[in-house]
């Protein structure tokens, strides 16, 4: 996926493991489970790589280049422990009846 394909508000997963697996870099399927973050800022300066700021479910944020992220629609079926940022909704192709509704998914979706 190229720089131009990531937009503010998009749900993404950190999948490249180029920055480690920490609470502010939660690798998809790693130590912190399956977290989807929201792209909250796109910084593009002519001549420099585009930087994407992502907000993660626990309120942590970090910045990435496009090669470190994967949009939710490219992840396939979501696992039981998926977590999303409070206030965000999954895209329409992920209907609730099609998901395994794990505790963390319900908490993230309804802010319980």
Q: Is the pLDDT of residue 6 over 90?
A: no
Q: What is the pTM of this model?
A: 0.74
pLDDT, tens only, 33-85? 899 999 999 998 888 889 999 999 988 999 999 999 999 888 888 887 788 86
User: Helical H runs in 1-112?
Assistant: 103-110
pLDDT, tens only, 8-42? 999 999 999 999 999 899 999 999 989 999 999 99
Hey, what domains does the chain have and what are their CATH numbers? 3-110 (2.30.30.30)
Q: What is the pLDDT of residue 96?
A: 44
Round to whole Å and give the CA distance between 100 and 62: 28
Round to whole Å and give the CA distance between 59 and 102: 20
> Could you give the 3-state DSSP secondary structure of residue 108?
helix
Tell me how crowded residue 8 is: count the other CB atoms within 10 A of its CB: 11
């Amino acid at each position: 996926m190229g720089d131009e394909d990531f937009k503010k508000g998009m749900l993404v997963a950190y999948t490249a493991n180029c920055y480690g697996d920490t609470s502010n870099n939660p690798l998809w399927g790693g130590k912190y489970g399956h977290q989807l973050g929201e792209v909250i800022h796109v910084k593009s300066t002519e001549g420099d790589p585009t930087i994407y700021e992502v907000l993660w479910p626990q309120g942590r944020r970090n910045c990435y280049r496009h090669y470190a992220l994967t949009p939710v629609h490219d992840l396939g079926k979501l696992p039981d422990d998926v977590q999303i940022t409070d206030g965000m909704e999954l895209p329409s192709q992920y209907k609730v009846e099609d998901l395994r509704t794990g505790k963390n998914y319900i908490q993230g979706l309804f802010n319980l």
